[in-house]
A = this chain, B = another copy of it.
Amino acid sequence: MSSVPRLRRGVIERLPRYYHYIRNRLEAEGQEVVSSSQLAELLEVDDTLVRHDLAAIGVKGQPKVGFRCNVIVQTIREVMGFGDPKPAVIVGVGRLGGAIAAYRGFEEYGLRIVAGFDAKPETARTLVSQTPVEPMERLPEIVRAEGVTVAIITVPAEAAQAATDLLLAQGVRTFWNFAPLHLKVPPGVHVRNELLSVGLTQLSYLERLRKQGDRG
């Protein structure tokens, strides 16, 4: 495996957007080459920034022509490690867990959902295709057997820490947490917190600013 460059925070936020827009918009329309200004417009950023980002992952363009779409996509795949899918589990298969599981193209983003877990698997919503929904009791066994290192937490807040502790004990080291609280984890463990309320707050604030702007 080639070594992974340690990318700046801003770059990591934008690479998935380049990947997404090129695949869904440009390649879908048969466009083979894209200019930095075109990508800049799609993402609403400066075109110099796009060139900086692409330079950071080693993508070369051709003056007067642009960057080849498939080179960008392929390089982002490599840098992000999409070609080496990591086994992952979803803990809590309610509406939110089900919605995330149903998201098409997990594999295209380097993750492979091997199982969902729920306290009441019989009433839980189904996961896509053949992915099973198992009772919580089977979590340690399955996580260990499959070598799972990534977990998506979509249980209610009050159950989130217990679920996390269970996963930590089995060696899971990367978490995507949708429960509205701060998970306690040991050093070296990655947690990406997806606090829904942050989005809500900003909606409210943006709308308030807009109203004010209308008047002033």
Contact = CB atoms under 8 A, between A and B. Distances in A.
Contact of A106 (B24, B84, B192, B200): B200
**Chain A contact residues: over half helix, strand or loop, or mixed?**
helix
Interface in A173-216: 173-174, 176, 180-182, 188, 190, 192, 194-213
A119 interface: no
A212 B3 contact: yes
Query: Which of A176, A195, A199 is the most central at the interface, judged by chain B CB atoms within 10 Å of its CB?
Result: A199
B206 A174 contact: yes
A180 B211 CA distance: 27
A49 interface: no
A170 to B, nearest CB: 15
A212 B4 contact: yes
A86 interface: yes
